[in-house]
Amino acid sequence: MNVTLLFCASFALLISSSAYSEDLGLFDNQIDVGKATHAGSASFDPSSRSYSIAGGGENMWFTNDAFHFVWTRVSGDFALQAAIEWLGAGGNPHKKACLIARQSLAPDAPYVDLAVHGDGLVSLQYRELPAGPTREIQAIVGQTPRLPAARLALERQGELFFISTIVATDRSPASGVTHPPTLQPSGAFFRLRMTDPLYVGLAVCAHDDTKLEKARFSHVELLHHQLSNEKPVLHSTLETVNISSRDRRVIYHTLDHLEAPNWSRDGTFFLFNSGGHIYRLPVQGGKPVRIDTGFAERCNNDHGLSPDGQLLAISDQSRGGKSLIYLIPLAGGLPRRVTSFGSSYWHSMSSPSRPQPVTKPGSPLPKVLMTARTIRRTANSFTSTLSAPARCKSGA
């Protein structure tokens, strides 16, 4: 998934630090949304710009929600930032502490949130229609032992909502450019049309209506994006999509351009093209490893594995300026030319004697899909296209 977002050189606070209210700081009010047996509460510490919020409620999922909400109304593009941590051990692993934007205070209202779960999972959750189903994009999978609270942000640009995180210094695999630590998109995003003003703020749900759970939101800031003439920045994401639920999981995010993601035959790693090279990435994520393709350093986005998974077919135009098809060992090595005349491009590979099913016996559809999309920020609008072939994982 390739995402181009317009980032601003400067931000303007929606409300200055000197304008914090005595009780709720940046926010105007608090309320229990939906049915909550135990009333929630919130306290504000101006010195650290932190909020301690206790919330009950059965869930924030399916067609309606129950939680405690500290809110203000916001119009236009914004970034709501905080470091989020749970106070006290235990509780339901699905309890949620959220940065959230809702269309209304109704329990079944459309919304988008950044949810930190009790087990450490960080996801972008959303409901598109009133009383519609809730879906999610997993941005950061829970970790054990749990890491200290990290600064996160829910950001809005037009109809696009996305999660940003603090990214450590990183060297991009294709460009070799080193990027300093900064608040950057995590790769989790969703487009949702909502009408201003929105109810924006902090939320806690216990995921157990018999209890109250408490979370701390520290260094809270509510920023308004200013329009900028700076060149948009490209963000690319490789993700998987569960076909039945449409839920997504971010596997890898980079500032390099990614193309043509493919599954390995055994489903343990991905292959993708970037900067004219082919990379291998474990399904759990991590750092991509470049495959040695010898002299072939201008690979197109057409590539794929042989039925036995031992050979990699590539299309490359390093010699003669026209694309030719080559075969190399999956582990890397000298390319062996297959076609003599160009331009020629690899599209598929099959073996009648060794068929490769994309589903388990008895399963009508593959379970997991990998896709790539392109979203570009142009003036005040976004355009998007599906931008790469997708391959279905065998089984799942």
The answer, yes or no, to whether residue 166 has pLDDT greater than 50, is: yes
Cα distance between residue 104 and residue 73, in whole Å:
10
**160: phi then psi, degrees, rounded to nearest 5:** -100, 125
The answer, yes or no, to whether residue 84 has pLDDT greater than 80, is: yes
Q: What is the pLDDT of residues 279-329, one digit of tens each?
A: 999 998 999 999 999 999 999 888 889 988 999 999 999 988 899 999 999
Helix (H) or strand (E) holding 26: none
* DSSP string covering 332-395: ----EE--SSSS--------TTS---SS-TT-SS-SEEEE-EEEEEETTEEEEEE-S---BPS-
The answer, yes or no, to whether residue 383 has pLDDT greater than 70, is: no
* Whole-number pLDDT of residue 167: 59
Q: What is the pLDDT of residues 221-253, one digit of tens each?
A: 999 877 667 777 788 889 898 888 889 999 998
Least confident of 137-146, 167-176, 199-208: 167-176
Domains and CATH numbers, the chain: 2-225 (2.60.120.200), 233-386 (2.120.10.30)
Cα distance between residue 156 and residue 159, in whole Å:
7
What pairs with residue 314 in β-bridges? 303, 326
* Whole-number pLDDT of residue 177: 65
